[in-house]
Structures are given as C-alpha cells and as structure tokens.
C-alpha cells in the first residue's frame, strides 16, 4: 500500500477520495449529511477494484465523487443533501454489472473484492440499466 493512502475504519484503502469525502461532509454540514457521507464511504469501499472495468478515467469512483462535490456547491445548502443523494443513486458505476458462479454482485450488500473471492469465475459488463436501480440506492442511502 502506498504511504499516501489511508485506511478507513472498514479496511478500505482510500487516498484523495477521503479528502473529497471530508469536503463533502463540510458542504453538507448536518447530522443527516454526516450519515450520508458515511454511506457514500461504505459504497465506495464496496466498489473498490471496479477501476479495472470502467471505460474512462472520469468513471473512476474518485472522479465521480469529485464531480458531485463540485456541482453540489452550486446548490443552496437546504437542497444540497437531496442533490448529492440523487447524484450518488445515479452513478455510472451502477451500470457496470458483475456476476459470479451463481449470483450477481450487489454493491449495496458487500464489496466487490469479497464477491470476487467467493466466486471462481467473475465477469463484469456494462449494461443499459443500472443495478441496483436508483430507487433502491436512495432507500439504502436513507437507512
């Protein structure tokens, strides 16, 4: 692991992504916002390793999060939380589907790394429909 990387409490390696999350927490600046940032952190940890499957560097989780942060600052503070939740639920990462021996990976339920360890053969492809759907992601973010 690079010296510049940090370990978060859930054993997910994070580098500048953690800095972006801290800035996002400052931008949201409420207890609900802090919970949302923790959910986003967990989601990004679950997606760790997807970088090898995405089409462009703009789809790397850190890039997507930086874009959301930048655009969130254009929204009034009262609606910023809704904007961030909406954007996270529609990340392009959800269009990358991964399936293993007999199951499909759900990024809301566990990490890609653990999924790959449990399955001998894993395939990732880009689909026309997100999985899970945005409504399920929004519900998960609100838990």
Per-residue model confidence as pLDDT tens digits over 87-138? 999 999 999 999 999 899 999 999 999 999 999 999 999 999 999 999 999 9
Instruction: List, in order, residues 6 or more apart from 87 with CB less than 8 Å away.
Output: 68, 71, 72
Instruction: Determine phi and psi for 48, rounding to 5 degrees.
Output: -55, 130
Nearest Cα neighbor of 111 from 38, 41, 17, 15 is 41
Q: What total of structural domains would you count in the chain?
A: 1
The domain of 122 spans 15-142
| In a domain? residue 5 | no
| In a domain? residue 132 | yes
What pTM does this model have? 0.87
Per-residue confidence band for 3, with pLDDT thresholds at 50, 70 and 90? very low
Per-residue confidence band for 4, with pLDDT thresholds at 50, 70 and 90? very low
| In a domain? residue 119 | yes
Instruction: Determine the Cα–Cα distance for residues 130 and 46; give it in Å rounded to an integer.
Output: 16
State pLDDT tens for residues 28-78: 999 999 999 999 999 999 999 999 999 899 999 999 999 999 999 999 999
| In a domain? residue 93 | yes
| In a domain? residue 9 | no
| In a domain? residue 78 | yes
Contact (Cβ atoms closer than 8 angstroms) between residue 48 and residue 92: no
Instruction: Determine phi and psi for 96, rounding to 5 degrees.
Output: -95, 115
| In a domain? residue 66 | yes
| In a domain? residue 25 | yes
Nearest Cα neighbor of 123 from 107, 101, 88, 99 is 99
């Amino acid at each position: 692991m690079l010296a510049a990387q940090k370990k978060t409490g859930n054993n997910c390696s994070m580098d500048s992504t953690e800095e972006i999350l801290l800035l996002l927490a400052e931008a949201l600046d409420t207890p609900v916002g802090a919970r949302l940032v923790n959910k986003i952190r967990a989601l990004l940890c679950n997606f760790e390793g997807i970088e090898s499957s995405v089409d462009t560097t703009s789809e790397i989780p850190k890039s997507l999060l930086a874009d959301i942060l930048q655009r969130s600052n254009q929204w009034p503070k009262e609606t910023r939380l809704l904007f961030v939740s909406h954007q996270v639920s529609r990340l392009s990462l959800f269009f990358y589907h991964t399936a293993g021996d007999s199951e499909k990976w759900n990024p809301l339920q566990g990490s890609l790394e653990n999924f790959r360890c449990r399955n001998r053969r894993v395939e990732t492809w880009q689909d026309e429909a997100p999985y899970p759907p945005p409504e399920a992601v929004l519900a998960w973010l609100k838990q």
